[in-house]
Amino acid sequence: MTEKLHAVALAARNRAYAPYSNFYVGAAVEMEDGTIFGGCNVENIAYPQSICAERTAIVNAVSAGHRRLRRVYVIAEPAAAPCGGCRSVIAEFSTADTEVIMANPEGQSYRMTLGALLPHAFERHETVPVVQESGPPPER
């Protein structure tokens, strides 16, 4: 499965839009049911409006109705860990045991759990009570 994640992340990296930093990143997220979604970084001249590859992949998954991450695979040259914002978004849809794989395009990689990357993560239950998981909007 790691080969498939690498292929999806590499293809996404090849579509990245990074004319300002020239730092091209691709990501693939494997969901609980094994479905894989890819995403790339997309920069904007108003730099804070840029979006990272990890968040793009997660947004693609959530937009398709998925909620639970099993693994995250990130490709950059050199290999790089997700930024703090991405770590928080990953935490929203996973657990401390979720595997995060950071690789370069040639496939050299290292693995960590989200808990190691983001110890003492701020979690949903610490903010407001959760009555139920969100689902599709009610029919009108």
- Portion of the chain with pLDDT greater than 90, in percent: 82
Give the C-alpha distances (Å, rounded to integers) separating 140 from 63, 135, 136, 137.
Answer: 20, 15, 12, 9
Give the domain ranges of the chain. Answer: 1-117
Mean pLDDT check: name the lowest of 19-23, 50-54, 131-135. Answer: 131-135
Q: How many CA atoms lie within 13 A of 29 on its CB side?
A: 30
Respond yes or no: is residue 54 known to be catalytic: yes
pTM of the model: 0.86
Q: What is the pLDDT of residue 35?
A: 98
Asked if residue 126 has pLDDT above 60, the reply is: no
Q: What is the pLDDT of residue 21?
A: 96
Average pLDDT over residues 53-70: 98
pLDDT band at 47 (very low <50, low <70, confident <90, very high): confident
Asked if residue 44 has pLDDT above 70, the reply is: yes
CATH class of 1-117: alpha beta
Asked if residue 128 has pLDDT above 60, the reply is: no
User: How confident is the prediction for the chain on average, in pLDDT?
Assistant: 91
Q: Which of 32, 43, 54, 133 is catalytic?
A: 54
Nearest Cα residue to 33 out of 73, 66, 76: 66
